[in-house]
Amino acid sequence: MNFRNHKSRKKWQKEFINKVFKHRTKFHNTFSKIILNNIELIEGKNDHLPKSLFKFYTPTSDNIIDIKKQRLWMSHPETFNDPFDCRTGYDVNSYEKHTLLKYIQESGCVDIKYSQDGFTIDEFNRLSRSTTSYEYNWYSKIEEYDTVLRKLLENKSKDFNHIIYDVIRKSRNEVNTKIEKLRNVNIRVACFSALDRLKGFNDIIHMWSHYTDNHKGFCVEYDISPLKEPICLSLKDHEFYKDQSKYMDERIKVVILGGLFPVIYTASRVNIPKTKLNKIKFDEINGMQHNSDIDSILYKTYIVKSAKWNYEKEWRIILDGDVCNYYDNKIPFPYIKRVFLGCKMTTETMDTMIEIAEEIGAEVVMMVMDNKKFILEEHGTSSYKWDKEWAKIKDPF
């Protein structure tokens, strides 16, 4: 299935997400389960995948152990450094206005005649026509919602003001609770960069500074070509206990491919319309109930970032929390091709990383500062190893 939309500017990622959640059922209600139950959905994804993905790491013991064990840490978006990242946008004033108008209609406080304890039909219509848009222009004939409401309430009774502001307060609390619940949904993310070693890889000194503890860490190149291999689930669901390891290995590969997306860089955030926010309900234990439209919006939020970050050429793996929890949020990812060592990495960490890379069959590249330009040079490890051996055999006296 090829995800291209020639009639609009819609990105293939968004079209893919829409198609996935259209297949949602009562029993296959998460992204991963839908993918595994409709494998044909990801058959056209290979056309969009790069050859390699790069990930930068700080030199922590956890990160080093993860490389040794060839696994990938899946982060919760709350830990990301960009406060806008993975946060769905919404218009609280629009939701408030929608809720208030609904209350006014249902409570019967609209009358033809003027009243201090209600709105006239003309006042109600005036409030309905008002705008909550951020792009409000005071030259426009359309009035601003906040201004209209304030002016109307100036001539109403104190008790009626209390009633209206209580509705507004509850509406704001409700929408903020819904958004907070959506932001804490158990979906986890791993971030990469689709860099080109032949074009600009050695120029990205800022990426090394931001994500590797000022060049003390490392960068890993992952060869993801195995993800493009034909999908074959040799074990059925009822054979889970027959070979649990093989069963999980087959399926984690499929859901990784299904959850792999390039980030869309734009000036606009993904926003949840007030009508869809209004449909979100809570059950008796305060759990959130919502439909596939909300899930689709959430996934789109996770692959959209400000255009200010476009230099990162980011790709992401997005997985459901249930899948990540099974692996303690560290999924198998045996695709390491090269390990690049930062130019300020300590000797101890360097020795450890070289040993690990040799153990897992990965090439090691040492990044060295160029003496004339603001770039990094790539060196092999032979010179470094020779210097260490020479230091052991030369006579210090």
Q: Are 19 and 3 in contact (CB under 8 A)?
A: yes
Which positions ≥6 away from 26 have C-beta within 8 Å?
none
Could you tell me the residue ranges of all domains in the chain? 12-76+189-263+303-379, 92-182
Handedness of CA 336, 338, 343, 349 (dihedral sign): positive
Which positions ≥6 away from 375 have C-beta within 8 Å?
202, 203, 205
pLDDT in tens, the chain (397 residues): 455 544 434 589 999 999 999 999 888 889 999 999 999 999 888 889 999 999 999 999 999 999 999 999 999 998 998 999 999 999 899 999 999 999 998 988 887 677 888 999 999 999 999 998 765 556 667 889 999 999 999 999 999 999 999 999 999 999 999 898 888 888 999 999 999 988 889 999 999 999 999 999 999 999 999 999 988 899 998 888 999 999 999 999 999 999 999 999 999 899 998 888 888 887 655 666 666 788 899 999 999 999 999 999 999 999 999 999 999 999 999 999 999 999 999 999 999 999 999 999 999 999 999 999 999 999 998 877 777 776 676 666 6
177: its two tokens: 């609770």
C-alpha to C-alpha distance for 362 and 71, rounded to whole angstroms: 14
pTM of the model: 0.86
Q: What is the DSSP letter of 47?
A: G
C-alpha to C-alpha distance for 34 and 24, rounded to whole angstroms: 6
Burial of 354-375, coded b for 16+ CB within 10 Å and e otherwise, reads bebbeeeebebbbbeeeeeeee
